[in-house]
Amino acid sequence: MDDMLALALAYGLLIALLLGHSILTALRMKDLDARLKAAVESMESASKVREGSDLSEE
């Protein structure tokens, strides 16, 4: 393989590897954050519905 081509290819791929990992991790974190918020909201609305039905039974 050509000397300079090898140098450029190796550095390019390694930088892409580290950047790609960072981007994927950040996207996964954002997705989990959204799912966590949605789950918390669902739990809150479920407990409100439960409280409402408890009151109507009384």
Please give the residue ranges that form the binding site for other proteins (CB under 8 A): 1-7, 9-11, 13-15, 17-18, 21-22, 25, 28-29, 32-33, 35-36, 39-40, 42-43, 46
Question: How far is Cα 7 from Cα 23, in angstroms, rounded to an integer?
Answer: 24
Question: How far is Cα 37 from Cα 29, in angstroms, rounded to an integer?
Answer: 12
- Considering only the C-alpha atoms of the chain, give the largest distance between any 2 of them, rounded to a whole number of Å: 83
Q: Which residue's CB is nearer to other proteins, number 43 or number 52?
A: 43
Q: Which residue's CB is nearer to other proteins, number 5 or number 58?
A: 5
CB of 17 to other proteins, least distance (A): 6
